[in-house]
Amino acid sequence: MVGSMKVQKKQRIERDEDKDEDDIISSLPDCLLTGILSYLPIRDSVATSVLSSRWRPLWTLVTILHLDQNKTSTTSDHTSSFTEIVSRIFILRNTVPNPAPIHELHIRWHKNCLPLHVDTWIHATFRHSVKELDLSINTHPNQPLELPQSFYFCSTLRVLRLSGDILLNPPPQAS
């Protein structure tokens, strides 16, 4: 009786291991997985990194970032939470070897926007060959976001959408 229970337990363990080997999603190529991750909210995309070592770096290969204060913040203090989360995303992306370029950056910051942080994120994105930039920024009326001077010389940018409190002040050389 004891011997047959050990055999049944061993067979069950072997079946469970076979199920792990049949993980079809993890066997997909990185480009397909990162394409799927790009449709998830960023916090869900990053959360997949805890699934396994195979998934750990995948979120850093996502080329489309949707950063929305209403969907990203986790605390009642939306400003510091959003700032910390987005800053960590850029820091972590830059610490992996060969991070993927950011083709699209969408930032929606609707409450208590701090232009200095947005400016830093835009600079970081330009280093990643951004092709599309979509900013919806609401700041204090006396402190609009002034796009950095380097913005006007970004050779990779193809699409630009701006809404909210954004000041366009191109340098004379950009005219």
In whole angstroms, what is the distance from residue 93 CA to residue 72 CA?
Answer: 17
Beta bridge partners of 162: 135
Average pLDDT over the chain, rounded to whole? 79
CA–CA distances in Å: residue 162 to residues 105, 132, 149, 171: 12, 11, 16, 18
Token reading at 163: 């809404």
pLDDT of 162: 92
Token reading at 104: 């699209």
The percent of residues in the chain predicted with pLDDT above 70, rounded, is 81
pLDDT of 91: 84
Pairing, β 104-109 against β 64-68? parallel
Q: What is the pLDDT of residues 117-155, one digit of tens each?
A: 888 888 888 877 889 999 998 877 677 888 888 788 888
pLDDT of 161: 94
Mean pLDDT for 41-59 is 84
In whole angstroms, what is the distance from residue 102 CA to residue 99 CA?
Answer: 9
Contact 104, 110 (CB under 8 A): no
> Between 110 and 5, where is the model more confident?
110
pLDDT of 159: 94
> Between 96 and 17, where is the model more confident?
96
DSSP designation for 2: H
pLDDT of 132: 93
